[in-house]
């Protein structure tokens, strides 16, 4: 008996056996020759995963929020103008971080939860504000909304704004081509589509970002997040030389090295396509069950997760029933609709069997909740989409 549940929340996710074995390796010195090799190779591999040959990766012990903090701390000085393309909870968080470092923040909000600002609305804000930087949440984990990063980044560059993309719930699952799309800085965390347990903040800063951080008028207001401290460390590791500022999360970096090799062995284009297919199958299962999603238009549906409204007469007890059926999903997060929906992550090491198991568990949960539907219809629709 396996005696464990399938983890299908929006992060942490399921990890491959090789990644988990790396986590269990004997911890070595952070300046040991074999660890320096793994760290240096991981820096090189992150460029390939972010599709950013010109970028400077940073691998720092911390969460995705630290990655956001590093972006703001190094790019923002008091009085700078920032524009936030707001699609949910984590867009709000980025705004708060920017304000903490003295930015004057303007939001471009969606008209209602489940929607996203139009390109015309974003362009109008760019024309009016003329911000130093613009932040885009690629996938907001609270709403399941994916933004058109390529088009938004082009707009940002047109108005000479630094383009910063929060890819915490997207990178290595949703298509993103950092250099080609003109993204000045992209960030993520280890525990989502990158496929490593929580604990690493991952940032890839483009040349313009590094340049502006060097020309600051005032020192960075966060000692731990300061690129001036971390850049020499990253450069030393990439040159396969020992260095020290803060002790790295040794076993997490070992695991990151394994996962990045797995990602690159799959190939980025095939990985993006796999995520789209699995997401499409999961969403086909939801549609067959008559379940509505939070995003209001098909083009807003994220590839890496689904945010699903409870059907009429069903409440958050459904999450408990799904859990008891062997699959862990997440409740709502966005304050305006928190008790009206649940969330399912499908990224990283997820495969067809996981999609079918999750849909099956949702069917079991709905049945226990007293919801009337055609049993087996969700699983059948997902199976059909996977063919």
State the pLDDT confidence band at 111, using cuts at 50, 70 and 90. Answer: confident
- For the cut 50, the answer to whether the pLDDT of residue 387 exceeds it is yes
Query: For the segment 298-338, what is each residue's pLDDT rounded down to a tens digit?
Result: 999 999 999 999 999 999 999 999 999 999 999 999 999 99
DSSP characters over 63-75: -HHHHHHHHHHHH
Q: What is the pLDDT of residue 109?
A: 95
- For the cut 50, the answer to whether the pLDDT of residue 88 exceeds it is yes
SS3 238: helix
Q: What is the pLDDT of residue 92?
A: 97
SS3 187: strand
Whether residue 95 contacts residue 84, with contact meaning beta carbons closer than 8 Å, is answered with yes
Range 89-110 average pLDDT? 97
Average per-residue pLDDT for the chain: 97
Range 158-173 average pLDDT? 98
Above pLDDT 70, what percent of the chain? 99
- For the cut 50, the answer to whether the pLDDT of residue 58 exceeds it is yes
Range 351-378 average pLDDT? 97
Overall size of the chain counted in residues: 387
DSSP state of 292: -
* Calpha distance 295→293 (Å, rounded): 6
* Calpha distance 383→276 (Å, rounded): 15
Range 68-89 average pLDDT? 97
Range 67-74 average pLDDT? 98
Q: How large is the C-alpha radius of gyration of the chain?
A: 21
* Calpha distance 192→108 (Å, rounded): 26
Angle at the Cα of 380 from the Cα atoms of 309 and 348, rounded to 5 degrees: 65
Range 85-108 average pLDDT? 97
* Calpha distance 159→149 (Å, rounded): 15
* pTM for the model: 0.97
Range 94-106 average pLDDT? 98
Domains of the chain, start order: 6-12+267-386 (3.90.1150.10), 17-266 (3.40.640.10)
Residue pointed to by tokens 């067959």: 288
Q: What is the pLDDT of residue 2?
A: 65
Cα–chain center distance at 79: 28
- For the cut 50, the answer to whether the pLDDT of residue 1 exceeds it is no
For 173-186, b/e burial (b = at least 16 CB within 10 A) is bbbbbbbebbbbbb
Whether residue 71 contacts residue 203, with contact meaning beta carbons closer than 8 Å, is answered with yes
Range 272-281 average pLDDT? 98
Whether residue 260 contacts residue 45, with contact meaning beta carbons closer than 8 Å, is answered with yes
Query: For the segment 4-28, what is each residue's pLDDT rounded down to a tens digit?
Result: 899 999 999 999 999 999 999 999 9
* Calpha distance 183→145 (Å, rounded): 19
- For the cut 50, the answer to whether the pLDDT of residue 222 exceeds it is yes
């Amino acid at each position: 008996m396996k005696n464990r549940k399938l983890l299908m929340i929006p992060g942490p996710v399921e990890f491959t056996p090789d990644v988990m074995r790396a986590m269990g390796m004997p911890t070595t010195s952070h300046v040991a020759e074999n660890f320096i090799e793994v760290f240096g190779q991981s820096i090189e591999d992150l460029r390939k995963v972010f599709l950013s040959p010109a970028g400077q990766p940073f691998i720092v012990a911390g969460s995705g929020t630290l990655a956001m903090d590093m972006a703001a701390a190094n790019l923002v000085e008091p009085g700078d103008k920032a524009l936030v393309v707001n699609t949910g909870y984590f867009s709000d968080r980025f705004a708060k971080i920017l304000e903490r470092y003295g930015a004057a923040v303007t939001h471009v909000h969606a008209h209602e939860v489940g929607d996203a600002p139009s390109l015309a609305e974003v362009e109008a804000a760019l024309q009016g504000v003329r911000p130093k930087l613009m932040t885009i949440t690629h996938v907001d984990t609270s709403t399941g909304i994916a933004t058109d990063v390529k088009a938004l980044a082009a707009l940002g560059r047109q108005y000479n704004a630094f383009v910063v993309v929060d890819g915490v719930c997207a990178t290595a699952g949703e298509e993103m081509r950092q250099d080609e799309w003109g993204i000045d800085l992209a960030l993520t965390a280890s525990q989502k589509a990158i496929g490593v347990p929580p604990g690493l903040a991952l940032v890839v800063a483009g040349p313009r970002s590094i340049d502006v951080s060097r020309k600051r008028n005032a020192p960075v207001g966060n000692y731990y997040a300061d690129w001036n401290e971390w850049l020499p460390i990253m450069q030393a590791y990439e040159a396969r030389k020992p260095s020290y500022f803060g002790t790295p999360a040794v076993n997490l970096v070992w695991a990151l090295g394994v996962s990045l090799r797995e990602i690159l062995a799959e190939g980025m284009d095939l990985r993006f396509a796999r995520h789209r297919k699995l997401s499409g199958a999961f969403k086909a299962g939801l549609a067959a069950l008559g379940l509505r999603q939070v995003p209001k238009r098909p083009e807003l549906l994220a590839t890496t997760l689904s945010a699903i409204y409870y059907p009429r007469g069903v409440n958050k007890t459904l999450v408990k029933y799904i859990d008891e059926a062997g699959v862990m999903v997440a409740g709502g997060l966005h304050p305006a609709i928190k008790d009206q929906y649940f969330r399912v992550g499908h990224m990283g090491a997820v495969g067809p069997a996981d999609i079918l198991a999750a849909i099956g568990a949702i069917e079991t949960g709905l049945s226990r909740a007293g919801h009337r539907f055609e049993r087996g219809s969700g699983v059948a629709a997902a199976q059909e989409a996977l063919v």
